[in-house]
């Protein structure tokens, strides 16, 4: 481990109690209208905070968090990376696009390892991933580029396994992405290339679980993608239309698994000798399916893995394939072993600096965001920097539609945080209340209003508890979501209504800035110094200042004004 050092801050003395970073996930600053769940909710605590003098707006999307374009939505992964890193790093979407544009991806060892044997054997290249242009977990342009280059390299058979989005893009926009794909496939096949869709399903039902919240999601994907088991349709568009008709009101992210085939069998199960690319670049929802393909580690390429080494579900025969991720999803665990693009190297996070300075730290959330206050905050590393000085607490999430349980575990997170502060005596605490994001993603406006009221009630209890413990709170969000729960006309900005007069739900993140409020002993009305371009990456230096440390020279500036002698 690199030896790191923090110097005393020239003007700030350590806060008398714990410094607590309170992340209200998915709560941005948007138009105060009928589509804004925060605006419609009763939130007296947040209303009071928004009147504080020590407050501002932070950029939480686009280049401010390392994404390519100002139009790129913020997300929890890059948001927590920026909060922990104190600097801006180019993120997955940008790195992959650059690697494809330069040709570096196709010149790399992993791509050659994947495709050259296929050209010789006639075996299949399988691409699994989120099929949209949301650019949060994946982008269809990346997948198209992989297919085109594979065909040009001599790969004769390609199968696509589509995870339907409806979360980072419009909630019922699947056909906007699938129908052009099917037209492209028809052109490829006319040119003599054997390309087809093999399976699919909604992202919240099939394959893309995270933090081991529900391995059944991964199992459904394994059955469909690998074994070709499941309800069979002639095409992906037929599957989507049929499943929607059978369950009126279902949104894309909740579509059940489907398999493409005919009376003779499935069109593209994964078998020995094939190659598989999971083309998502984001890690949290890619790790479990990667473990399903790669467990146990250390096996010889070309030899299948015995099912008994994997306790989460019965995989049956595990095909001996060459598996790679678009990026490495977990550096600590080395998952996957082979990957196409090197992920951002985020070193010297604020957590690592504090651990080496002897500062006790607490990270806490419920399962859905636990990895964000640990893995992503730590620069895409799962393990604590010091097991003696760091305590990670996970509150198990309910396995339900969060639109039906919008309060989630906010109360339990606050209860446990105050207990841990008294017991562990941490100097720095980071916690995440996921409601604004997880309920916002359901597209249910009323549920999101309740979610914000639950957050507000819990935040009030937390701030009262911190006041009694002389604590300082930095209250902010990692990106926007619940403040825009209705789709807008792209030209006029007006809220869009359905034919029946109801609003058309929006389930995706936003590009809105997020609030940041700092409250605690000694934080006065002259304290805020955040510049117009201040973003999430300015928070780490702010934390250090409140703990009495000067930030490293390459960290972005603190949001607090320097104090006089």
Residues with active-site annotation: 76
C-alpha Rg value of the chain to the nearest Å: 24
Backbone angles phi, psi at 218, to 5 degrees: -70, -40
Identify the sign of the CA torsion 268, 270, 271, 273. positive
Q: How far apart are CA 122 and CA 118, in angstroms?
A: 5
* Residue ranges with strand state E in 310-376: 322-327, 339-341, 361-366
Backbone angles phi, psi at 116, to 5 degrees: -60, -45
Other CB atoms within a 10 A radius of the CB of residue 369 amount to 33
The DSSP call for residue 28 is -
H or E element in which residue 142 lies: helix 140-153
Residue 143 near residue 150, CB atoms below 8 Å: no
The DSSP call for residue 254 is G
Backbone angles phi, psi at 75, to 5 degrees: -150, 170
Question: Which residues are within 8 A (CB) of 371 and not within 5 positions of it... i.e. 6 or more apart?
Answer: 210, 211, 284, 382
Backbone angles phi, psi at 434, to 5 degrees: -80, -5
C-alpha 192, offset from chain centre: 38
Identify the sign of the CA torsion 304, 306, 310, 314. positive
């Amino acid at each position: 481990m690199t030896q790191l050092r923090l110097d005393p801050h020239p003007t700030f003395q350590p806060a008398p109690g714990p410094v607590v970073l309170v992340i209200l996930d998915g709560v941005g600053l948007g138009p105060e209208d009928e589509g804004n769940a925060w605006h419609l909710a009763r939130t007296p605590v947040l209303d009071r905070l928004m009147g504080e003098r020590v407050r501002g707006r932070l950029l939480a999307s686009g280049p401010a968090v390392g994404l390519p374009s100002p139009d790129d939505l913020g997300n929890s992964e890059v948001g927590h990376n920026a909060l922990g890193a104190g600097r801006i790093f180019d993120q997955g979407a940008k790195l992959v696009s650059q690697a494809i544009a330069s040709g570096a991806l196709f010149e790399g060892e992993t791509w050659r390892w994947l495709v050259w044997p296929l050209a010789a054997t006639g075996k299949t290249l399988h691409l699994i991933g989120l099929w949209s242009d949301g650019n949060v977990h994946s982008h269809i342009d990346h997948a198209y580029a992989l297919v085109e280059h594979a065909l040009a390299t001599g790969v004769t058979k390609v199968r696509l396994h589509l995870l339907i989005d409806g979360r980072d893009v419009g909630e019922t926009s699947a056909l906007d992405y699938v129908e052009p794909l099917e037209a492209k496939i028809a052109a490829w096949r006319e040119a003599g290339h054997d390309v087809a869709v093999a399976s699919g399903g909604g992202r919240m039902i099939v394959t893309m679980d995270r933090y081991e919240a529900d391995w059944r999601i991964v199992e459904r994907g394994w059955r469909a993608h690998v074994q070709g088991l499941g309800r069979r349709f002639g095409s992906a568009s037929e599957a989507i239309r049929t499943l929607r008709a059978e369950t009126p009101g279902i949104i894309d992210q909740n579509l059940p698994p489907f398999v493409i085939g005919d009376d003779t069998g499935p069109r593209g199960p994964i078998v020995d000798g094939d190659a598989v690319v999971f083309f998502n670049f984001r890690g949290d929802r890619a790790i479990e399916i990667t473990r399903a393909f790669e467990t146990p580690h250390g096996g010889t390429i070309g030899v299948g893995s015995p099912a008994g080494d994997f306790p989460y579900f019965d995989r049956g025969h595990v095909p001996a394939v060459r598996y790679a991720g678009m990026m490495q999803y977990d550096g600590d665990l080395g998952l996957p072993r082979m990957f196409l693009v090197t992920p951002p190297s985020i070193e010297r996070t604020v957590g690592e600096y504090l651990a080496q300075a002897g500062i006790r730290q607490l990270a806490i959330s419920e399962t859905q965001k636990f990895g964000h206050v640990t893995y992503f905050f730590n620069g895409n590393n799962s393990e604590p920097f010091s097991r003696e000085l760091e305590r990670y607490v996970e509150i198990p999430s309910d396995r339900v539609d969060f639109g039906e349980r919008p309060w989630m575990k906010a109360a339990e997170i606050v209860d446990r945080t105050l207990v841990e502060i008294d017991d562990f005596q941490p100097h720095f605490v980071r916690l995440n209340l996921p409601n604004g994001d997880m309920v916002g993603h359901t597209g249910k406006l009323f549920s999101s209003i309740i979610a914000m009221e639950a957050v507000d009630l819990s935040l009030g209890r937390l701030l009262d508890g911190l006041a009694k413990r002389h604590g300082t709170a930095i209250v902010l969000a990692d990106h926007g979501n619940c403040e825009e729960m209705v789709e807008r006309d792209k030209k006029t900005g007006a809220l869009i209504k359905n034919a029946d007069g109801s609003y058309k739900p929006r389930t995706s993140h936003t590009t809105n800035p997020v609030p940041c409020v700092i409250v605690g002993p000694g934080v006065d009305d002259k304290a805020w110094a955040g510049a117009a371009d201040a973003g999430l990456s300015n928070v780490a230096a702010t934390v250090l200042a409140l703990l009495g440390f000067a930030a490293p020279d390459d960290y972005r500036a603190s949001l607090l004004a320097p104090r006089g002698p």
